[in-house]
Amino acid sequence: MTELVQSFLDYFRTRAYRKERRTLPPITFDAVKDRYQYFPYVFSRICEEEVPVLRHPGDEFGFNRTVHVQFAGNGCMNNHTPDYAWALSNGFEEILADLARRADGADEEGKAFYRAATDSIHTLLTFCECYRAEAERAGCDKLARALATVPRKPATTYYEALLFMKLLIFAHRASGVSHLTLGRFDQYMYPYYLASQKAGITEDALLEETELFFISINMDTDIYTGVQQGDNGQSLVLGGCTPECEDVFNELSEMILTASEELCLIDPKINLRVSAKTPLERYVRATRLTAKGLGFPQYCNDDIVIPGLVSLGYAYEDACNYAVAACWEFIVPAVAYDIPNIRTMNFPLVVRKATMECLEGCDTFEDFFSAVKHHILAYFDERRVATSQYEWSKRFHPNPFGSLFLTDCREKGRDAFAFVTKYKNFGIHGLGVGPAVDALMAICRTVYEEKSISKAELLAALENDFRDAEPLRRRLLACPKLGSGDEECEKLMVRMLHFYAGAVNHTPNGVGGIWRAGTGGSQDYVTMSRDVGATADGRHAGEPYPSSFSPSIGVRAAGLLSVIEAFTRPDMKTLINGGPLTIELHTNVFRNEEGIRKVALLVAEFIRRGGHELQLNALHRDTLIEAQKHPEQYPDLIVRVWGWSGYFCELDLPFQNQIISRTDYQL
């Protein structure tokens, strides 16, 4: 990286500028005349209070926040994948003219929508002018020159497009959009990249611009809305294919991987679209990024996602254009306002309820499995009906500015929550597949096959959280688990997920779309497991589930190949709301080219076998320290010691400490 980038990165890491931010009191809904005006009003208040400031020579983009405001009351637009290409290629002057034309022929609600959207754009343009003046005063000629045209006019160079993006991110965030994703960044930015290249800008200069931009979009992540810091949806997608199956991974995609690898920042989080045709070298390249311990790239399998979306009713061309919203949910930019994380199927809870309520009366395991299916259906129906009773206009403020970036909203003069977009589907996460299947397996094995535990014994033990029933709990723990290479377990998972997908997919959602089934779980693996009593896999009441689509915590998996074998077995095309298999590897695995190449081979195998989504973590120091404190939760944490691999928790303490200090060097 250049000296300028390094210096800006060092400045960013001090985070000193964040302490200078002022916090405004919450801006209430009462302050505005009509509901469409809430976010335009908030946005204008923020822009009034904001002070244009360029604190470092590397800050070539500005638009960093100097004030922070809590949004009051209702929910915000979220999981938004805007049509950036539309704004970049038109500029706001043309957009304003277009909105004026549309407002002329619109109904009252449409007029209110266009008026509010227009107000927001004027606010933004005024604020951009303040920034231009500040850039001029501060001697930031590059920024001042660019702001003389952008964003009123279309971007013409890569730098102008990056600047345009920065102020769009600023405007969306300041106008109340949470989980704003960057979509297919390497595709819509590519024409501008090529234009700059053609104008003689060197690769090094383009990389520097990319890196300065990436640092710049990390500046305000601490005030972005999310469950945990960093949970802000600021992810982008690289690669993929055209409807003609042409691979579109390009030089810019490559440059973004380089920038991310050099900077090691949390944003942008990178998703890489791959398929069975992806060359191994690309996996090797991406694995070098994984080795940095950032937890990305996340791999998305075009061979599964595209047909999966098509089977849910997405047009083939739209499916080919998919991006990733928030964490792992597949979404189509510009034409979809899907809410892919509106509900969660709590599988272990469902299996527990079926056990407590129905096990006694089930003579065979098949009877019991039918009861589980019944409970899956009932649990989904309860959530589906509750969601259908939402009064959207009361739950969410309209966001006319953000909605402009959805084609149908823009053309029809309606907010995103009016659900006028081509796709408006709801997604349900599938939480705790691992422990749920393990519980089913344990019941099948101990109660029905071996008859080693009676129904009454099991029910009493679950009721009392295994108090005075430790031997029984150990028998449950000893049953085969998902990921331990057991065929029967895997078949049970396939059956359970097949039923779940059939029950969920295509069910109307009450707003003109359908429901989609997924295998994710966001923060729910902690929050939604807290109140769930003991389960038949041997899990105590309140113990957390594994995150996403993974073996249960504490299960000693047979190995990575068995885990991949198991978790690629269901028909993942039917579980296309997303939710990755998550695998954690010690950083030592990546210590040389051979290790990196073999991890790349493993990823390629996962994709070839039909997995839909994969997230690899190179474990770092904090995890190892946690593992020291709670070894029982990390039995599978593998470390490469010397010419051999061992389980971290089985190493003597001084050796563990040595590895921890060594890991620091490796990171």
Partner 1 sequence: MKVKRGDFLKGRIFSIEEFSIFDGDGIRTTVFLKGCPLRCAWCHSPEGQKFEMEYLRSPNGCLSCGACLAAGGGRLTAASVDACPRNLVRAAGEDVEPEQLYRRLSRHFDMLNHAGGGVTFSGGEPLAQPEFLYECLCLLRGRTNRGLQTSGYATNAIFSRILGECDLLLFDLKLIDEATHKRYTGVSSEPILDNYHTAAASGKRLLTRIPLIPGVTDTEENVTAICRVMQESNVAYAELLPYNRLAGSKYPLAGRVYDPPFNTEQVPAVRQEIFAAHGIQTKIL
Q: Under the criterion CB under 8 A, does residue 35 sit at the interface with partner 1?
A: no
Q: Which of 19, 204, 632, 665 binds partner 1 (CB under 8 A)?
A: 632
Rounded to the nearest whole angstrom, what is the least distance from the CB of residue 589 to partner 1 in the complex? 6
Q: Which stretch binds partner 1 (CB under 8 A): 45-53, 254-262, 367-375, 557-565?
A: 557-565
Rounded to the nearest whole angstrom, what is the least distance from the CB of residue 293 to partner 1 in the complex? 18
Q: Under the criterion CB under 8 A, does residue 18 sit at the interface with partner 1?
A: no
Q: Under the criterion CB under 8 A, does residue 450 sit at the interface with partner 1?
A: no
Q: How far apart are CA 151 and CA 222, in angstroms?
A: 26
Using CB under 8 A as the binding rule, the residues of this chain from 465 to 504 that contact partner 1 are: 470, 474, 477-478, 485
Asked if 53 contacts 134 with a C-beta cutoff of 8 angstroms, the reply is yes
Quick one: which of 404, 176, 391, 94 has its CA closest to 412? 404
Q: Under the criterion CB under 8 A, does residue 655 sit at the interface with partner 1?
A: yes
Distance of CA 191 to the CA centre of its chain: 26
Nearer to partner 1, 222 or 605 (CB): 605
Please list the alpha-helical segments (H only) found in 413-568: 433-442, 455-463, 470-477, 487-504, 524-527, 560-567
Nearer to partner 1, 68 or 609 (CB): 609
Q: Which of 147, 305, 589, 607 binds partner 1 (CB under 8 A)?
A: 589
Q: Which of 70, 229, 645, 661 binds partner 1 (CB under 8 A)?
A: 645
Tokens of 89: 């290629």
Nearer to partner 1, 377 or 651 (CB): 651
Read off the amino acid at residue 101: R
Q: Under the criterion CB under 8 A, does residue 621 sit at the interface with partner 1?
A: no
Q: How far apart are CA 331 and CA 342, in angstroms?
A: 14
Rounded to the nearest whole angstrom, what is the least distance from the CB of residue 533 to partner 1 in the complex? 21
Q: Which stretch binds partner 1 (CB under 8 A): 70-78, 110-118, 360-368, 598-606?
A: 598-606
Tokens of 288: 């070098």
Angle of CA points 564, 568, 574, to nearest 5°: 155
Q: Which of 222, 390, 641, 666 binds partner 1 (CB under 8 A)?
A: 641
**C-alpha distance from residue 110 to each of 74, 388, 413 (Å):** 21, 25, 4
Q: Under the criterion CB under 8 A, does residue 646 sit at the interface with partner 1?
A: yes
Quick one: which of 634, 441, 632 has its CA closest to 536? 441
Angle of CA points 385, 386, 389, to nearest 5°: 90
Nearer to partner 1, 416 or 604 (CB): 604
Rounded to the nearest whole angstrom, what is the least distance from the CB of residue 271 to partner 1 in the complex? 23
Q: How far apart are CA 512 and CA 419, in angstroms?
A: 8
154: which residues sit within 8 A by CB, 6+ positions away?
A: 88, 89, 90, 91, 94
Q: Which of 601, 610, 621, 666 binds partner 1 (CB under 8 A)?
A: 601
Q: Which of 609, 610, 621, 626 binds partner 1 (CB under 8 A)?
A: 609
Give the start-end residues of each E strand in 313-395.
Answer: 323-325, 329-331, 339-346
Nearer to partner 1, 439 or 599 (CB): 599
| Residues at the site binding partner 1, with contacts judged by CB under 8 A | 470, 474, 477-478, 485, 558-562, 564-565, 589, 592, 594-595, 598, 601-602, 604-605, 608-609, 628, 631-632, 635, 640-646, 649-653, 655-656, 658-659
